[in-house]
Structure 1
Amino acid sequence: MKKISGLVITYNEEKNIEACLASMFQVCDDIVVVDSYSEDGTIELAEKMGALVIRQAFLGDGPQRSIGLPHCKHKWVLNLDADERLDKDMVNAIRQIDFENTPYEAFEFKRKNFLNGRWIRYAGWYPDYVRRLFDKTKTDFKPVKVHSKIESENYDRLDAHIVHYTYDSIEEMMSKLNSYSSWSAQELYKHGKSASPFSPFFHGLFSFVKFYVFKLGFLEGLDGMTICIAKSTASYLKYAKLIELHRKAIKTK
């Protein structure tokens, strides 16, 4: 018995869900899908693959994932996004873990991020460690709307890979960028953060220089430039939207 549960959150992931679940079933013996009322065939395909589907209106990245944990049969849980897969080295690494005696409560893996079918090795996209295998009795997801992660300081990094098919087009990237920047601004506002009129520009500029120059994004050619511009735009918008939220709050007083 594998004694690992799988966890995936979905919304209209018809094109990805079967490959994702097939990948996870290599090391998991049960999988929970928390779906935000998909309008395509995601739910039907997930159930056909043998997953338990929980329907839940989207609560944000962290809370949405946490909803699924009580439904996972085992204390060790592997969490993937629908556009992610286990690489062969990750399957082997997980099978070699002694879950009964490990001193760790979570494990991190390297992530190979693909854009338009091409593995991006620079611009901060590799090795891109992500914490995805954890003991649910000892830790949980950070309760934030965007880019949540397992809250744990007691973890190990393994030299194994998740394969991540990020975006099929620049249009898709920019659409998600807009949503992510809004959620990030809301998180900052909720925690009482403020920004000066210069914050959007300086954060955007710093982000571009960091990823294009110091993270060698220029080595990825046009894709690298696109990624770095997207990152800097997201940073700019996050703080611009934060300022907008404060302005709206003042007007309502």
Structure 2
Amino acid sequence: MKPITGIVITLNEQQRIAACIDSLQRVCSEVIVVDSLSQDDTVRIAKDKGARVLLQEYLGDGPQKAHGVPHATNDWILTLDADERLEEDAVAAIQALTLDDPTRAYRFKRRNFCANHWIKAAGFYPDEVVRLYNRTTSGYLPKKGHASVRAPKVLDTGTHIRHFTYDGLSHWIQRIDQLSTRDAWAMKERGVAPSAWRPALHAASATLRKLILKGGILQGADGLTVTITTAFHAYMKYAKLNELYENENHRNDR
């Protein structure tokens, strides 16, 4: 196996960053933490764990994940979020790779948890993500929300990343608030126009997709929870986009 650089982006992740770095160090020769100016002990903990820390005000998901890549010693890059861990099957699969072909990137399945509860309903599993790639041919798209890796070829490892998505239902709601704000800002940066009907339309579309197309209607309480929260997220990000334009117009009218 060729050497790999692990990259993780952080903001106030003092409770999680140590375990994330430990996970990456099982297969990586170095770990780079790109920190968005945390106000807690994230940076100190990361340095104590042997990671190299780069301080960078948040640029959006894709640009932030790409920021550490030029600083890597190795061409092979493995990215995790601070709330993610490689499971044993993923560690074994990565250790078995020769990594001889730089045009290949590798995909993993995420197991998403709300507290101790693994949520599989309505598309929450297998939730496949590309996380191991060679920077000479592949990389994160410059998308500010929910960015993904573009690569010439993607191979499925069939193995798992454990994602501690939410600490509980209250945290789930808090994250929707945070992420919908980020998404609204990213859409405005892209020039997406405000619309009175988009919030309801996208919420209805999300409900149809999760409840019917993804089978949530047949998956009990988890299916319903995923459907409602996804629709709420969709509604709020477009409602907040409208709010951004309203606030801007109000400032300009003063």
Query: What TM-score, normalized to structure 2?
Result: 0.90
The answer for the alignment partner of 1:95 in structure 2 is 95
Match of 1:67 in 2: 67
CA offset at residue 239 of structure 1?
2.0
In the TM superposition, what is the alpha-carbon distance from 1:209 to its structure 2 partner?
Answer: 2.4
Give the stretch that moved more between structures: 86-95 or 242-251.
242-251
Alignment partner, residue 182 of structure 2: 183
SS in 1 for 2:37: coil
- Find the aligned partners of 1:216 and 1:115 in 2 and give their Cα distance: 19
Which residue in 2 is equivalent to 1:203? 202
Q: Deviations over 1:152-185 (max 9, x none)?
A: 3422222111110100022222222122222222
Q: Deviations over 1:55-94 (max 9, x none)?
A: 1222221111122112211000000001100011111111
> Aligned-pair distance for 1:49?
1.4
* Cα deviation 1:176-229 (Å, max 9, x = unaligned): 212222222233333333354222112101212221333233455434322221
- 2:233 maps to 234
Opposite residue 138 of structure 1, the aligned amino acid is T
Q: Is the 8 A contact 2:102 2:133 kept in 1?
A: no
Query: Match for residue 113 of structure 2?
Result: 114
Q: Corresponding residue for 1:80?
A: 80
Find out whether 1:217 has 2:195 as its counterpart.
no
Q: Comparing 47-56 with 217-226, which one deviates more in the overlay?
A: 217-226
Please state whether the residue corresponding to 1:234 is helix, strand or coil: helix
TM-score (norm 1): 0.91
Cα gap change, 1:138 to 1:176, in 2 (>3 Å): same
Contact 2:121 2:226 in 1 (8 A): no
- The aligned residue for residue 161 of structure 1 is 160
Q: Which moved more, 1:142-151 or 1:75-84?
A: 142-151
Q: Who is 1:32 aligned against?
A: 32
Query: Which residue identity is paired with 1:210?
Result: R
Residue 32 of structure 1 aligns to a residue in which SS? strand
**Cα distance in 2, alignment partners of residues 155 and 180 from structure 1:** 27
- Contact kept? 1:11, 1:35, Cα under 8 Å: yes
Supply the AA of the counterpart residue of 2:185.
Q
Query: Does the 8 A contact of 2:103 with 2:138 survive in 1?
Result: no
Structure 2 unaligned segments of length 5 or more: list them. Answer: none
Which residue is equivalent to 1:148? 147
Amino acid at match of 1:227: V
In 1, are the aligned partners of 2:133 and 2:151 still within 8 Å (CA)? no
User: Larger deviation: 106-115 or 209-218?
Assistant: 209-218
Q: Hey, what's the Cα distance between the residues in 2 that align with 1:105 and 1:246?
A: 42
Task: State the distance in 2 between where 1:37 and 1:73 align.
Answer: 23
Contact 2:9 2:64 in 1 (8 A): yes
3-state DSSP class of the match of 2:232? helix
What CA RMSD, in Å, does the superposition of the two structures yield over aligned residues? 2.0
What is the identity, as a one-letter code, of the residue corresponding to 1:73?
A: T
Q: Which runs of 5+ in 1 are unaligned?
A: none
- Matched-pair identity in %: 39
CA contact (8 A) 2:2 2:98 kept: no
Going from structure 1 to structure 2, the CA distance change for 1:220 and 1:47 (only over 3 Å counts) comes to farther
